[in-house]
Amino acid sequence: MKFRTGTAAGTALGTAAGAGGVVAALSARRLGRRVLHRVTQRVERRLERETRSLVARAEQAGPLGKAAVAGIKALRDGKSPFRALVSFGWTALKETLARIFGRGRGKPTNIVEQIDVGAPRRLVYDRWTRFQDYPSFMKKIVSVDQASDEKLTWKAKIFWSSRTWESTITEQVPDEHIVWRSKGRKGHVDGAVSFHELTPDLTRVLLVLEYHPAGLFERTGNLWRAQGRRARLELKHFRRHVMTQALTSPDEIEGWRGEIRDGETVSTPK
């Protein structure tokens, strides 16, 4: 009986010791996690301070300094080294161009283009007023939404990007001229177009634009008059469309023949 009692006591002591070991192991593990968490937080805070310091210094470090910060941020956010390198190169390019061409809005550019279309003036004018059809024959126009007789929203391609702006027709006289103003975050174009009968079957279209660039691509393209060449090319697309499509079926072309004065419609076609 004494032997059994001693054995039972030993077993109990062993179980207690084992339980104590498990508790101690768990406590050590929790302690290790807390220490690791504190160390991680400390490293993250230090990294954040260093990044902010780099950003502040990069403001005076020029394009390469800002590009380096962009690469560091990309790596810090978990992006691959390749993505970080792309961020570095893209930022360096943008900052270099911004230094050359300046920031903010650029100087306005005046563009004057004309083209002669072998069709009656009424037909040419009617075709011009069908703004929502422009994407079907103009290269860079993506879409045109006309909310009312005076208000339009345009979307066009600029390099590999796209731009959206709103225009308001301030004056429109059938067969004579259309005048508009516009606004857009990346720049806008104000302008006028007039229609002049040279002969009953020959019409001159005169386009006058005042282009106000604001985005980086817009200011860069403004340096070599890219917008003027684009306007000239789009006029050629318009002439080709009139003479190959509209001229062969003039009765199907129904333009808007209302009149607008001071931004308001004063007469509508009956």
Label each residue of 125-181 as H, E or C: HHHHCCHHHHHHCCCCEEEEEECCCCEEEEEEEECCEEEEEEEEEEEEECCCEEEEE
pLDDT at 258 (0 to 100): 94
pLDDT at 223 (0 to 100): 46
pLDDT at 172 (0 to 100): 97
| Alpha-carbon span 230 to 212, nearest angstrom | 15
pLDDT at 68 (0 to 100): 52
Q: Which among 6, 52, 194 has a CA at the least distance from the CA of 117?
A: 194
pLDDT at 42 (0 to 100): 75
Residue 119 pLDDT exceeds 70: yes
Please give the angle made by the CA atoms of 134, 139 and 144, to the nearest 5 degrees: 35
Residue 168 pLDDT exceeds 70: yes
| Alpha-carbon span 127 to 246, nearest angstrom | 7
Instruction: Tell whether domain 109-267 is in CATH 3.30.530.20.
Output: yes
| Alpha-carbon span 184 to 73, nearest angstrom | 31
Q: Per-residue confidence at 28, pLDDT binned at 50, 70, 90?
A: low
Residue 215 pLDDT exceeds 90: no
Residue 90 pLDDT exceeds 90: no
| Alpha-carbon span 40 to 34, nearest angstrom | 10
* Residue keyed to tokens 């993505």: 83
pLDDT at 57 (0 to 100): 56
Q: Identify which has the larger pLDDT, 33 or 180.
A: 180
pLDDT at 248 (0 to 100): 86
Q: How far is CA 127 from the centre of its chain?
A: 30
Residue 15 pLDDT exceeds 60: no
Residue 191 pLDDT exceeds 90: yes
Residue 88 pLDDT exceeds 80: no
Beta bridge partners of 212: 188
How confident is the model over 95-123, as a mean pLDDT? 74
pLDDT at 269 (0 to 100): 79
**Ranges of each domain in the chain:** 2-101, 109-267
Residue 226 pLDDT exceeds 50: yes
Percent of the chain with pLDDT over 90: 39
pLDDT at 195 (0 to 100): 98
Q: Which among 267, 163, 137, 266 has a CA at the least distance from the CA of 217?
A: 163
Residue 98 pLDDT exceeds 90: no
Mean pLDDT of the chain: 75
Q: Which of 43-52, 123-132, 217-226 has the highest mean pLDDT?
A: 123-132
